[in-house]
Amino acid sequence: MNQNRRDMLRITSILGMAFTAGLLKPDDVFAAEWNEKVFNAKSLEAAVKALGGENFAVSKDISIVAPDIAENGAVVPVTISSTVPKTEYMAILVEKNPSAMSASFTIPAGTEPFISTRVKMGTTSNVHALIKADGKWLVASKEIKVTLGGCGG
């Protein structure tokens, strides 16, 4: 118990010093501004448009690792990665969910574009990995069959 408290105090002190020295800004640590239009988008095309893009291209340089059949749609593991240079944004969209956008990530320069998370799926659907790299929008897709619903199922 005391060790956890000490660790928390140590981390808080280091972050406090970093903020004071100007090494970190609150925007670097806290969530970005909520983009309601993106999360209300019902399709891949609408999400890209809400993000400021005009169109997208299918890319073989994006990989999606996920099960072909998910036994429980409430916790479907999805991993996406990109070998496209200058990848700056990655998102996971589930086509048939009430809100297509499941997760989005800003990728800092010099960081490996690799995301692993779990998403909720209501039914069998295409899962899209949407990538923004060097100002271009790219996508890869994979169908995942769901046997037990996760979005209200």
pLDDT in tens, 64-102: 999 999 988 899 999 999 999 999 999 999 999 888 889
- pLDDT tens sequence across 93-115: 999 988 888 988 999 988 999 99
Domain count, the chain: 2
**Predicted local confidence at residue 153, as pLDDT:** 47
Long-range pairs for 144-147: beta carbons < 8 A, 24 or more residues apart: 144/66, 144/67, 144/68, 144/69, 144/70, 144/76, 145/68, 145/69, 145/70, 146/69, 146/70, 146/73, 146/76, 146/121, 146/122, 147/69, 147/70, 147/71, 147/72, 147/73
87 within 8 A of 63, measured Cβ to Cβ: no
**Predicted local confidence at residue 75, as pLDDT:** 92
Per the model's pLDDT, the better-predicted residue between 110 and 33 turns out to be 110
**Predicted local confidence at residue 1, as pLDDT:** 59
Residue 152: inside a domain: no
Q: What is the CATH number of the domain that holds 91?
A: 2.60.40.2470
Residue 18: inside a domain: yes
Residue 35: inside a domain: yes
For residue 29, pLDDT over 70 is answered with no
